[in-house]
Structure 1
Amino acid sequence: MKKSLIALAALAASGAAMAQSSVTLFGVADATFAYGTGTVSKKTQLASGGLDGSRLGFRGVEDLGGGMSASFHLEAGLNNDDGTGGTTDTNNQGKAASGGLIFNRRSTLSLNGGFGEVRLGRDYTPHFKNLTAFDPFGTSGVGTTQTLKSSIGGPTTIRASNSIGYLLPGNLGGFYGQGQFYMGENDSNVANKKDGNGVSLRAGYANGPIDVAGAFAKTTYLLNTANGTGGNITTMNFGGKYDLGMVKILGQYSQDKVIGTGTGKGLLGGVQIPVGPAGEVRLSFSTYKVVTVGVNTPDPATNKIAAGYVHNLSKRTAVYGTFANVTNKKGAEQALNNSKTAPNKKSSGFDFGIRHSF
């Protein structure tokens, strides 16, 4: 159960009205026995995040009156297998910083009201949300969609730092949307002054059993920059989910175009099937192909099949197992669970774990 600390804070010593505030401590601990095998090497490990990413977070809100509120959200990624923290990209240019407790997953301050939400800080990019929302495995563990694992979308594929975002209010009859501008924060007198700058937009509609959304993003990089992304990156994707009751059907399409490198195109189709009151079967097929720039260059492609089962022991605790296999073609060498495989060869892996949320 989430623990909330409720406090009443005085707005002024002169006897001004009191405003209600709340702070919540929350988190996830997810331990996974993970195994991966490839033609070059195998890997056996106790890992973290096979079902949900392990994290420790704090969030709070203050009622400002008049339908407005201020809120914060600080969320640190954790590796509960060894107690270390995560890494973060401070300038959206692939230069990871690490340390102890880093709020790398999310670090935002927001102003909320009838107009929606203005959100400042490090956050998920809107174009990533389609990849995770319409993946049966929620982009966690060995079953994660190949549209993410093979993506050439660069450092802002999942999150962006130094962002200014806006989210539509939640009372628009099922329509939702988000816009985000993020900055690389480079000096104005350098050649790559715009590196890490970008914009991401997402719009969707969710009503009853239907949820569909599309997204677009563009991030600026110079050619041959140190982050290895090539030039400017343009991403578009869309996805959907339909709940039939006995089964949820999910699908997505993604495209990443990198100037000077090529164009990556991916597809996913999958299902989530409830089993009794506490279980769920997850199945997916995903594929990603990179059409590279140049004549007679290979166009690497990877196909993945994944199958998993989640059993909820309670509202907060679940056990799970996932198996996945990838097939590489035309020079691709994607491998699972940190194993290594030769180009054009297969790799397989599985996760067995337990997740506890609080």
Structure 2
Amino acid sequence: MKIRDQLLLSVLVGTVGTAFGQTSLTLFGIADASISHGSGSTSNRTQISRGGLSSNRIGFRGAEDLGGGLSANFWLEAGYNLDDGSGVPTNTNNQAGSGATQSQGLTFGRRSTVSLASVTLGEIRIGRDLVPQYLNHAAGDPFGNVGAGAAASYVANISGVTNTRASNSLGYLSPVVGGFGLQLMHYWGENARNAPNSNDGNGDGIRLAYTAGRMTLGAAWGRTHYLAGDATQRNLNAAYDFGMVRLMATLNRDSTGVASGRGGVIGVVVPVGVNELKASFSTYKTNAAINSEARKVAFGYVHQLSKRTALYATYAHVRNSGGSTMALNNAVTAPGSSSNGYDVGLRHIF
């Protein structure tokens, strides 16, 4: 069989091979759909939701062993909407207006990177990737910032289009030494140098993490420049696995030059055999509206049918105050009113 045919076969069956100069190629993804309902004081909605436990994705990743502990790697990962088959939009230049795209065919907006990695020196990564400050958000939320249970401090975050990912980035991930790991990133908005908004979409992020046994700690900072005012994120994360229960928490403060916000999430995951019970409390308060604050509680259960397939159910309640209008699963609620939501779904990992 020719090399070309063997590489194609490895993609089609989703396997990793090492026959040709220690090269691997993998197809991977998640298919997740749920029946979701949201209720608010203004309107309610029921729909087939796009990933209530994990975000839907399909991707390709590969690596080539270059010898001496050095490898070349790529990662292409696209988000898609399982209910209608459309692709999830991306952002080309880290700016809300000119860089935003619409739902369309697949775009590798979740991640598109190429990198060189060394066992002893770390990894240099280029492309579109998660920003360092997002990882603390995700580590503190037992619902992974997804579905009806996603933390209020993430859903209502005011820091804009780079609160999760950035395009046109150059990143560095250090090896873990003594439990410490470092991630650095710089990204560009790629505007003309003589334009008034020449720095729009340029930014930096840094995260320092420490792991010792069952304990994990993290601190992160990020800033994206805009002519209207810089968007800044700062957060702290802590997690501890007691065996019978895993506790996690994140605190964050954000600003945009004209507004500021602060909040956090505390969560718990209780293993029940191979299954999980989850719960969280989260809050986010901003000065964007008078005394605007959302407080959210969420409960969930994940039942594993196999290592790759799970049934799940999530329920959440949001209590708004002041000018806050957070609503669940596309319901609409008036300022200061409450909202309820649930997801019941099926996730398959491939």
Normalising by structure 1, report the TM-score: 0.91
Other structure's SS at 1:87 match: coil
Residues 1:291 and 2:283 are matched in the alignment: no
Other structure's SS at 2:135 match: helix
1:247/1:271 contact within 8 Å kept = yes
Shift of 1:6: 2.6
Counterpart in 1 of 2:301?
309
Let me know the Cα RMSD of the aligned residues: 1.3
Alignment-mate amino acid for residue 212 of structure 2: N
Alignment-mate amino acid for residue 290 of structure 1: T
Distance 1:352 1:212 in 2: 32
Residues 1:96 and 2:100 are matched in the alignment: yes
Instruction: List aligned pairs for 1:163-182, cutoff 5 A.
Output: 163-170=169-176, 172-182=177-187
Counterpart in 1 of 2:134?
128
List, as ranges, runs of 4+ consecutive aligned residues in structure 1 with deviation greater than 4 Å. none
Name which of 202, 219, 222 aligns with 1:197.
Answer: 202
Counterpart in 2 of 1:70?
72
1:250/1:271 contact within 8 Å kept = yes
Name which of 277, 300, 310 aligns with 1:281.
Answer: 277
Counterpart in 1 of 2:244?
246
Counterpart in 1 of 2:3?
none
Counterpart in 1 of 2:265?
268
Alignment-mate amino acid for residue 298 of structure 1: I
Instruction: List aligned pairs for 1:80-91, cutoff 5 A.
Output: 80-91=82-93
Alignment-mate amino acid for residue 235 of structure 1: Q
Other structure's SS at 1:130 match: helix
Other structure's SS at 1:79 match: coil
Distance 2:22 2:100 in 1: 38
Alignment-mate amino acid for residue 193 of structure 1: S
Distance 1:183 1:2 in 2: 37
Shift of 1:31: 0.8
Shift of 1:5: 4.8
Distance 2:303 2:285 in 1: 34
2:139/2:248 contact within 8 Å kept = no
1:55/1:78 contact within 8 Å kept = yes
Other structure's SS at 2:160 match: coil
Task: Give 1 or 2: higher helix fraction.
Answer: 2
Other structure's SS at 1:63 match: strand
Shift of 1:310: 0.5
Distance 2:13 2:123 in 1: 24
Counterpart in 2 of 1:258?
256
Shift of 1:236: 0.3
Q: Deviations 1:12-38 (Å, cap 9, x if unpaired)?
A: xxxxxxx22110000000011110001
2:111/2:130 contact within 8 Å kept = yes
Q: Deviations 1:32-56 (Å, cap 9, x if unpaired)?
A: 1110001111111001111111110
Change (3 A) 1:48 1:248: same
Shift of 1:283: 0.5
Residues 1:161 and 2:167 are matched in the alignment: yes
Distance 2:106 2:90 in 1: 11
Other structure's SS at 2:291 match: coil
1:135/1:251 contact within 8 Å kept = yes
Counterpart in 2 of 1:34?
36
Distance 1:173 1:4 in 2: 33
Give the fraction of aligned pairs with identical amino acids, expressed as a percent. Answer: 47
1:278/1:313 contact within 8 Å kept = no
Alignment-mate amino acid for residue 165 of structure 1: G
1:2/1:26 contact within 8 Å kept = no
Distance 2:78 2:139 in 1: 21
Counterpart in 2 of 1:52?
54
2:320/2:338 contact within 8 Å kept = yes
Counterpart in 2 of 1:300?
292
Distance 1:83 1:173 in 2: 45
Change (3 A) 1:252 1:7: closer
Task: Give 1 or 2: higher strand fraction.
Answer: 1
Shift of 1:7: 6.0
Structure 1: which 5+ runs fail to align?
10-18, 224-230
Residues 1:143 and 2:140 are matched in the alignment: no
Distance 1:278 1:36 in 2: 29
Name which of 14, 17, 23 aligns with 1:6.
Answer: 17
Aligned length: 335
Distance 2:330 2:293 in 1: 19
2:141/2:150 contact within 8 Å kept = yes
1:210/1:242 contact within 8 Å kept = yes
Normalising by structure 2, report the TM-score: 0.93
Distance 2:215 2:13 in 1: 30
Alignment-mate amino acid for residue 262 of structure 2: K
